[in-house]
Structure 1
Amino acid sequence: MAEAANPPELHAVVIGGGIGGLTAAIALYQSGWRVTVLERAGTLEPVGSGIGLAPNSQRALDVLGLGDRVRELAAWQGAGGMRAQDGRWLVRTSAAATARAFGGSLVLLHRATLIDLLVGALPADCLRTGVDARLTDRGGPGRKAVVTTGDGAIEADLVVGADGINSAVRTALFPAHPGPAYTGFTAWRLIVPAPGRPFEPHETWGRGGVWGTQPLKDGRVYAYATALVPEGGRAPDSEKAELERRFARWHDPIPEIIAAARPEDVLRNDVRHLIEPLPAYHRGRTALLGDAAHAMAPTLGQGGNQAIEDAVVLAHHVPPRGDLATGLAAYSAVRLPRTTAIVRQAARTARLNHLTNGALLAVRDTLMSTAHRLGPNMIMRGFASIADWQPPGPPYAAGTDAGAQERRVARR
């Protein structure tokens, strides 16, 4: 009796080689898909900035066997907190308290480090850079999706649109959606050598703007700033000079961080978000994830974290031999409510930390400080409902329960 032929290998095409797209490719590949990642850029060289990974995304990476390696490469965020513009501490935190509240610790690493790790988890022939890919057929029952490149058309059993906030895949799927809207503020990011004096990590809420200073494991510092400005603006001289005008009178070590930057070190981007949610995160055989699906303000630090969650949840719901339509519907049903709520929470936080009225600023700072004195968990509660997310399916690879995280913190 002849052996049954192996079923044909199913092919998933991921458009976009950022954090979400690469994580999706790894998750799909590990579940049995043949995967091709198409990235428009000629090389995967992410912008010079850091990314904070909360316990929720670390658990997702644990599913892929990458969580422990990320934690080895990252700086663990320990003591620190929130400060006022004059330097007063409004909220103080510790690594142990964070681990208890969030079910794990926050870690920070350079985006390039994370990208390198994700690329290394894929077969070399999965990734094609310098490819301008567009979705020409979203696919459907009995009909494969089609992605067109300069080299011709690629048929796919599944297409994943991970092409960022200006997603052409999203536009192809939902042409009537208004797309991203300006949040009202712009953001600057920079990585510089650490200042000469020790400092505690902090995020500072001032008048109409925010500054954050966070250490990386390699001895450098990742800093970011935001301010309310008209959309599309640029500094008349340099963005470093703009930071000096806006933040050089804020508390230490902010002036020293700015002084250490070269003009070319400072990146500036207007911040936009998808405040009007999409009706679904899929159509036909095509799914969206990350900023393409739910771009959000960075005020909760969850943009990349939610993209990583998306990737693992998508792969869970679309096993190669499962019913794709049912799986994609389940993916949308699970991810749409969660990410929509986080987009809105990030927008509310942005309004709170960009106040300009002096009286409201004083009330805000007093309430934050008082709430923290009454009980630190009151401040953390809003974020804890995001950070305590658990991945679907069987238990994840590494032990990242709160007790395990606290033991790791204690050893550091």
Structure 2
Amino acid sequence: MGPPPHEVEVAIIGAGLGGLALAAGLHRRGLAAHVFEASSELRKETSTMVGLGPNALAALGDLHPDLPEQIRRRGVVNANAVYSYFPPGRDPVIIERLASETRLHTIRWAQVVPPEFVHCNHAATGYDEIWDEQGMDNGTDVDESATATTAMASSPSAVRPAHRAVVHFRDQPSVTAKLVVGADGVFSPIRAAMYPNDPGPRYLGHMNWNCLIYNPGGNTVAHAHEPGQLCIANNGLLGAELIDPSLFAIVCDAGGGYTFWQVRMRYDEPCFTSQLAQPPPREANGTGAAGAATGGAPNGDSDASGSGGARRGRGGQGVPGSKARVIERLQSAGWHWWLPLVEATPESAIFERALYDRVPLERWASSGRRVVLLGDAAHAMHPMAGQGARSAFEDAHQLTLALEEFWADVPTALERYQKTRIYRHG
């Protein structure tokens, strides 16, 4: 991971699943895509997992033929699912589904891009699109100082395609690219630059804790699950009526000897563990200074400790008190069979976060058609449907196909990509 060149063909902002998958697909087709990641290093190990259905596996296989086999080798097929419902004041409901209904490939992580094309410590702050004579097909003068923000004020179809885009970083030199892809997640700075009046992430009413623990053969926690099994429990009810559960939990085989667990609790506002141990910051007039939009964190930053560092109310890994909080909630619900898993987990491995989505957009491309969104930056959704990572892989696949066909005309490629993917997301 060396310093990036000042000009690249494709600048992908964000080294998450969608960004790395896109880079892998473009490299295979001879396009030098550079990935810029805000964190100081890539996470080779995480506290989460990804469930992939047939749609995602098909997309990954076309991006790079080695990816599905790597996933099958590193992951596991969860062929059996057990759903347990514990509605208040009613008898429990247990539903078991067999392999034909639940085949799901579960993976942890895969390194798919040459390290020299991945640049960490590059936190994007925004971008400009450049119009100049090389990007014109007639002699009309265009203001080269026009930016994404000013350009978005007019109808996208009325704006002439830009020639290049320049992406800016905090404390790092800017980089010029033929195409900039914002794959930078639900709190995307690229989306914020593209749509400065966008309302921002919407809190979905749930706090989430999850972890992967090494549990080969049940040596750490016996009877956590059967091989290839997914177990889900909540205190709501599915059927003729739907009661939104205030407590939801998952445990499953994550492959390679790992067990994944997750506990989700309902809160009207983001409620981070670090904020429970201290009074909220107060302004001079005595009113609370923090709001729900930032997870209760002033100026968009939480001071939660732990290796994850809760930035802008997003939670973090290893937050002190998070393990005890999960144990207390499970005990109060009487779910004692879940306790051994959490008790056996080091607090440093538990990841805490609030769940957010984004308002759907009519367009994912900038007015100059040199910047485009992908994955959660475009369509963050509640994880309950299990489609977040799968949709990001489909985005990467369709954008790769469009660029392969129309690389000489990037604006046309982005229009093709938008029509394909925005229609899919309705």
Matched with 1:97 is: 101
The equivalent of 2:14 in structure 1 is: 16
Distance 2:46 2:115 in 1: 22
Which residue of 402, 407, 412 maps to 1:321?
407
Following TM superposition, where does structure 1 have runs of at least 4 consecutive aligned residues deviating by more than 6 angstroms? none
Matches within 5 A, 1:98-137: 98=102, 105-110=103-108, 113-114=109-110, 116=111, 118=112, 122-137=113-128
- Contact conserved, 1:81 with 1:89, CA < 8 A, in 2? no
- The CA distance in 2 between the partners of 1:282 and 1:50, in whole Å, is 29
- Report the Cα distance in structure 1 between the residues aligned to 2:336 and 2:61, rounded to whole angstroms: 37
Could you say which residue in structure 2 is the equivalent of 1:256? 340
- The match for 2:270 is 232
Contact 1:161–1:287 (CA<8 Å) still a contact in 2? yes
Whether 1:166 and 2:157 are equivalent positions in the alignment is no
Aligned partners of 2:182 and 2:249: how far apart in 1? 32
1:144 alignment counterpart: 164
Q: Match of 1:41, SS?
A: coil
Residues 249-258 or 76-85, more deviating: 249-258
Compared with structure 1, are the counterparts of its residues 233 and 97 closer, same or farther at alpha carbon in structure 2 (3 Å cutoff)?
closer
Q: TM-score, normalised by structure 2?
A: 0.70
Q: Which of these residues, 370, 385, 388, is aligned with residue 303 of structure 1?
A: 388
Aligned residue in 1 for 2:234: 205
- Quote the residue 1:42 is aligned against: 40
Determine which structure has greater relative contact order: mean sequence separation of CA pairs < 8 Å that are 6+ residues apart, divided by chain length: 1
Structure 2: distance between partners of 1:314 and 1:129: 23
Superposition pairs for residues 10-409 of structure 1, below 5 Å? 11-45=9-43, 47-63=46-62, 64-65=64-65, 66-85=67-86, 88=92, 90-98=94-102, 105-110=103-108, 113-114=109-110, 116=111, 118=112, 122-139=113-130, 141-149=161-169, 150-192=171-213, 193=215, 194=218, 195-197=221-223, 199-200=225-226, 201-206=230-235, 207-235=245-273, 236=276, 238-248=321-331, 249-251=333-335, 253-274=337-358, 276-283=359-366, 284-319=369-404, 321-339=407-425, 341=426
Structure with greater helix share of residues: 1
- Ranges in structure 2 where 5+ consecutive residues have no aligned partner: 1-6, 132-160, 236-244, 278-320
- TM-score by structure 1 length? 0.72
Whole-angstrom CA distance in 1 between matches of 2:182 and 2:255 = 32
Q: Which residue identity is paired with 2:233? A: T
- For the residue of structure 2 that corresponds to 1:282, the secondary structure is coil
Aligned residue type for 1:59: A
Task: Report how far residue 282 of structure 1 moved.
Answer: 0.8
Determine if contact 1:41/1:130 at 8 Å carries over to the other structure: yes
The amino acid of 1:162's aligned partner reads: A
Deviation of 1:241 after TM superposition, in Å, equals 1.5
Paired residues, number: 318
Tell me, which stretches of 5 or more residues in structure 1 are unaligned? 1-8, 99-104, 342-412
RMSD after superposition: 2.3
Q: Which amino acid aligns with 2:164?
A: K
Deviation of 1:251 after TM superposition, in Å, equals 4.4
Question: SS of the counterpart of 1:316?
Answer: helix
The answer as to whether partners of 2:46 and 2:212 remain within 8 angstroms in 1 is: no
